[in-house]
Chains A and B, each alone.
Chain A
């Protein structure tokens, strides 16, 4: 009787173990295959702050909707239009269908700008405008835009300066993105490249595409990291300059500055360079040594809202919820930046920079940048 009872217990234990294994395996598979929730809550954000940020975002979205022209555009500018549309389409807590009621006409207008070579632009700065248009069309997720997106991502990948443009791998601009145009200069910068790479990533250019490796060459050549930068001027603070050998840091020389550095960090992320890579570690060293949400380090208030956008998106991309600064003080960047942006928002819902450089006196553009910052704060 005891022997039979013992056998029974063994069978039950074995069965229970199998059930546990099957359930565990199924749960793991389900977790891996399930798409990430669009607005996964961030545990490091205090609930009351989270609610305030969501409200702030909603007021900003309402402001953008008020400013939209009847033809769906903003400011009669395709770049600003695409940025505003992207900011609205990516707003957490809203459905794409709901947003498409607002920006459907906008996306139609952007699609109408498509050129036979794949570019999506009116006339000026074609690479830039194509990149932000692709972001808007991808965010819209409309089936009819897919062929345009595919052509445009090919246009952007081909636009990176390489042998096709007569730029050799030893050239400092190799792999960079220029503004483009019928008579474009062979010149590139990290900000333009970040936009191009973001659009390429969001439009799912395969990781095997040679353009990513070319881009990495250029990213390295704008980084103050002599270990990987073959340019003579390269120092070792890990930050970035605007283009190889030239910076907008007000101290001059080739000193790194905030906006370029976070754009560089983000560019590495788009180009599939992992967080444990030495080049990324070097950028994070600069980030720790220059952590601030009060200004664009090295430039003061100039282009500070672009800085906030790449700051938030870069730290979100590398998955750093807390930054320990040079003094060892730990910062929850989401809370720091969130509170800062709340303090800067105007009652009407917009943000604007008092320093007008890079069109940051334009409320629609700056509000779009800031909405993207908030979206990065609110998402994992």
Chain B
């Protein structure tokens, strides 16, 4: 039981899982500070510079999350399916609910640890005042929901495909298409109906998280010049809708995944 609660069976696996969730935002923030060459002036940074760093860090975390979260989901399920996994040996002894829980909780807790760490860092960057707290809460709730959905998607791919590399490629490919497909699709997307554009923006974790953080990502310099989207009518997704859709998607995919997972472990 104790092993099941850890999520990854052996100590090293569990440590790597949680350490990744915590280290990920730290590394992203450090990268932004180094790239902006701002770290030397850390204590003298004006408010707007801090806001810019927080924005860049959140966007970088989200972009990296689109790749890493599906891989995390794949790794978790593949680990469960490995013969040496102690839980595998006990599959026949445990109930379906318990089996689902042992998969769900590391996904949920990993996403939450990642988002909370990122939120704490954002709060520290923005000057540790109470003013930005609502925005930080909204954006990181969206980040948590999107991470959970992508990780669950990776877990689903791993439960369907037997080869870990196939599963990883499929999961990351789908995540990238959802996240950036509309942004890099070229001039044709400008002619799509507004309702389709809005739905695609909602489906993009990058746009959804940025929107929850009040970042006008489509009108940022590069996308404004390159993408036709900023020049047509669209509405950014609301953070509540983002959380609702991604959590709903995660639950649906998770239910499907557990059924496939059960079939494979009993086969």
Query: Does B219 belong to the interface (CB within 8 Å)?
Result: yes
B220 surroundings in chain A (CB, below 8 A): 185, 187
- Looking at the assembled complex, report how far the CB atom of B243 sits from the nearest CB atom of chain A, in whole angstroms: 17
Whole-angstrom distance between the alpha carbons of A362 and B214 in the complex?
A: 25
A125 surroundings in chain B (CB, below 8 A): 216, 219
Q: Which residue on B lies nearest to A365, using beta carbons?
A: B233
A187 surroundings in chain B (CB, below 8 A): 220-221
Contact (Cβ within 8 A) A181 B216: yes
Query: Does B190 belong to the interface (CB within 8 Å)?
Result: yes
Contact (Cβ within 8 A) A183 B221: no
Q: Which residue on A lies nearest to B213, using beta carbons?
A: A183
**Contact among B51, B190, B225 for A246, CB-based, below 8 A:** B225
- Looking at the assembled complex, report how far the CB atom of B177 sits from the nearest CB atom of chain A, in whole angstroms: 25
Interface bracket on A: 20 to 34
Query: Does A327 belong to the interface (CB within 8 Å)?
Result: no
Contact (Cβ within 8 A) B221 A185: yes
On whether A181 and B214 interact (CB within 8 A), knowing A187-B221, A246-B225, the answer reads: yes
Q: Which residue on A lies nearest to B51, using beta carbons?
A: A183
Contact (Cβ within 8 A) A184 B232: no
- Looking at the assembled complex, report how far the CB atom of A59 sits from the nearest CB atom of chain B, in whole angstroms: 25
Whole-angstrom distance between the alpha carbons of A183 and B48 in the complex?
A: 8
Q: Which residue on B lies nearest to A242, using beta carbons?
A: B225
Query: Does A359 belong to the interface (CB within 8 Å)?
Result: yes
Contact indicator per residue, chain A 333-372, by CB within 8 Å of chain B (1) or not (0): 0000000000000000000000011110110000000000
Whole-angstrom distance between the alpha carbons of A170 and B215 in the complex?
A: 26
The number of residue pairs between A and B whose CB atoms lie closer than 8 Å in the complex comes to: 53
Query: Does B46 belong to the interface (CB within 8 Å)?
Result: yes
Query: Does A155 belong to the interface (CB within 8 Å)?
Result: no
Contact (Cβ within 8 A) B232 A123: no
Please report which residues of chain B, range 2-37, place their CB below 8 angstroms from some CB of chain A when the two chains form the complex: none
On whether A359 and B233 interact (CB within 8 A), knowing A165-B48, A181-B214, the answer reads: yes
Query: Does A179 belong to the interface (CB within 8 Å)?
Result: yes
Contact (Cβ within 8 A) B191 A356: yes
Query: Does A124 belong to the interface (CB within 8 Å)?
Result: yes
Contact (Cβ within 8 A) B48 A166: yes
Whole-angstrom distance between the alpha carbons of A179 and B217 in the complex?
A: 11
- Looking at the assembled complex, report how far the CB atom of B43 sits from the nearest CB atom of chain A, in whole angstroms: 16
B214 surroundings in chain A (CB, below 8 A): 123, 181-183
Query: Does B153 belong to the interface (CB within 8 Å)?
Result: no
Contact (Cβ within 8 A) A166 B135: no
Query: Does B228 belong to the interface (CB within 8 Å)?
Result: yes
B225 surroundings in chain A (CB, below 8 A): 246
A358 surroundings in chain B (CB, below 8 A): 231-232
Known: A183-B215, A356-B191. 6 other contacts (CB 8 A): A125-B216, A165-B48, A182-B51, A185-B220, A356-B190, A359-B232
6 A–B contact pairs at CB < 8 A?
A166-B49, A179-B216, A179-B219, A183-B51, A186-B48, A361-B233
